């Protein structure tokens, strides 16, 4: 198997230009972030932050000042409201499970949207085993949640509501402030969580302004290292810890904190926010050129998610009809353009993304979808190159499909 992968890599030998757009699934970590992290592996603050010696105190001080920075960027009141977790996945697990368990005497009904990320969706399925029920709020064909339905659904039994601030696949910016006020109106005891991983660094975000109880942010979604995320927990909100282990500096997550990753997360946040407007405008400009260029070159394409300022600035999700997504990712890779497809092959059927199905896309439209995200590190040349390669790739694959892929 590994031999085959080596051969696949060799097939990429002639590539002249590479553009990485699969920033939904992993990203580069810029050198300045890596540089910030490196000293914390062996030069300073390598101690356990709970222990009484210099490297331990250094670690404690480093973790707290990193937490201070990130707390500031999300709008937390005090740094203790932030819990570092190994990633967005753990933060969402902690938010859902931790608040469901802590508030189980108040109600066992969980409310989420139909298009929540897998690490929320699957946690609610797990919670079913503990007697919790889940109600999913539908979304319209651009991915916006139905606020009327939310109002009807949230009741005295509702203990947790989770709606992502920006949908990771569609870039849809949800009306979180309205949603949280509806929830609190209906039931002041219900805990409101938002996965803000795709909002952080892309749209203005302030947890106090949005009036949310819990919010997830993730390092790798802002070009920080993988393996670190955080959950904001508003002071006074009850959340149980969900893992047991050695007691660290944090109440809600056990184990010894990973100082270099926390430093990387904080540094990546600083870089994203220090020129926020410039960064966001750059992402948006390049994203628009990418989408507009694709629509100018190709017919039978559909944008998934909203247009304009209700869409995150980096997100481009496009369905190419009569073109299967996995084949397209390979064809593009062989030409140096790296993207991901909205469907994953299971044993018998291609499984379409639940998000694309929820906004009413047909299976075949979901199968031909490609998700791309621009970053501030992309250049005009990158987009020009993608617009040279991508239409040809789609045309070649449509040539193989012929009249076959029409349903």
Partner 1 sequence: MSRVPLPYNPKILDLFRNPKNLGPMEDATVTAVAGNPACGDMITFYLKISEQEIVERASFESYGCAANIATSSIVTEMIKGLSLEATWKDITWKRVTEEVGGLPSVKFHCGVLAVGALKRAIRKYYEQKGSAPSWLPQDLTFEEKQALEEEELAKTLSKRLKSEAEK
Q: State the residues that interact with partner 1 by CB under 8 A.
A: 1-2, 4-5, 7-8, 11, 138, 322, 324, 326-327, 330, 334, 343-350, 357-358, 360, 362-364, 367, 399-407
In the bound state with partner 1, the residue whose beta carbon lies nearer, of 159 and 333, is 333
Least spacing, CB of residue 317 vs partner 1, in Å: 18
Least spacing, CB of residue 271 vs partner 1, in Å: 30
In the bound state with partner 1, the residue whose beta carbon lies nearer, of 201 and 325, is 325
Residue numbers annotated as active site: 345
3-state secondary structure the chain: CHHHHHHHHHCCCCCCCCEECCCCCCCCCCHHHHHHHCHHHHCCCCCCCCCCCHHHHHHHHHHHHHHHHHHHHHCCCCHHHEEEECCHHHHHHHHHHHHHHHCCCCCCEEEEECCCCHHHHHHHHHHHCCCCEEEEECECCCCCECHHHHHHHCCCCEEEEECCCECCCCCEECCHHHHHHHHHHHCCCCEEEEECCCCCCCCCCCHHHHCCCEEEEECHHHCCCCCCEEEEECCCCCCCCCCCCCCCCCCCCCCCCCHHHHHHHHHHHHHHHHCHHHHHHHHHHHHHHHHHHHHHHCCCEEECCCCHHHECCCEEEEEECCCCHHHHHHHHHCCCEECEECEEECCCCEEECHHHHHCCCCHHHHHCEEEEECCCCCCHHHHHHHHHHHHHHHHHHHHHHCCCCCC
Least spacing, CB of residue 139 vs partner 1, in Å: 11
In the bound state with partner 1, the residue whose beta carbon lies nearer, of 129 and 347, is 347
In the bound state with partner 1, the residue whose beta carbon lies nearer, of 34 and 350, is 350
In the bound state with partner 1, the residue whose beta carbon lies nearer, of 126 and 400, is 400
């Amino acid at each position: 198997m590994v031999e085959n992968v080596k051969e696949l890599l060799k097939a990429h030998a002639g590539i002249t230009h590479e553009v990485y757009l699969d920033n939904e699934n992993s990203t580069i970590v810029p050198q300045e972030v890596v540089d910030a992290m490196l000293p914390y592996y062996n030069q300073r603050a390598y101690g356990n932050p709970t222990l009484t010696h210099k490297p331990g105190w250094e670690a404690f001080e480093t973790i707290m000042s990193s937490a201070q920075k990130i707390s500031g960027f999300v709008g937390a009141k005090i740094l203790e409201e932030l819990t570092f977790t190994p990633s967005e996945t753990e933060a969402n697990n902690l938010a859902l499970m931790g608040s469901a368990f802590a508030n189980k005497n108040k109600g066992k009904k969980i409310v989420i949207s139909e298009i929540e990320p897998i690490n929320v969706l699957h946690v609610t399925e797990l919670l079913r085993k503990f007697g919790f029920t889940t109600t999913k709020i539908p979304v319209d064909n651009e991915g916006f949640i139905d606020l009327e339905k939310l109002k009807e659904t949230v009741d005295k039994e509702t203990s947790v509501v989770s709606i992502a601030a920006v949908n990771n696949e569609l870039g849809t910016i949800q009306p979180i402030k309205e949603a949280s006020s509806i929830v609190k109106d209906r039931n002041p005891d219900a805990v409101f969580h938002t996965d803000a991983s795709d909002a952080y660094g892309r749209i203005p975000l302030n947890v106090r302004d949005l009036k949310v109880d819990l919010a997830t942010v993730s390092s790798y979604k802002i070009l920080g290292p993988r393996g670190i995320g955080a959950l904001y927990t508003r002071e006074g909100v009850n959340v149980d810890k969900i893992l047991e282990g050695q007691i660290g500096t944090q109440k809600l997550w056990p184990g010894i904190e990973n100082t270099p990753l926390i430093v990387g997360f904080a540094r990546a946040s600083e870089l994203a926010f220090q020129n926020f407007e410039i960064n966001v405008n750059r992402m948006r400009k390049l994203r628009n050129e990418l989408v507009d260029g694709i629509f100018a070159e190709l017919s039978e394409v559909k944008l998934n998610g909203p247009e304009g300022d209700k869409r995150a600035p980096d997100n481009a999700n496009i369905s190419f009809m009569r073109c299967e997504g996995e084949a397209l990712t390979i064809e593009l890779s062989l030409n140096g353009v790296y993207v991901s497809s909205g469907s994953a092959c299971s044993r018998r059927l291609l499984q379409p993304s639940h998000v694309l199905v929820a906004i009413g896309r047909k299976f075949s439209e979901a199968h031909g979808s490609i998700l791309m995200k621009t970053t501030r590190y992309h250049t005009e040349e990158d987009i020009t190159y993608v617009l040279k390669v991508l239409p040809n790739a789609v045309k070649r694959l449509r040539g193989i499909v012929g009249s076959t892929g029409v349903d």
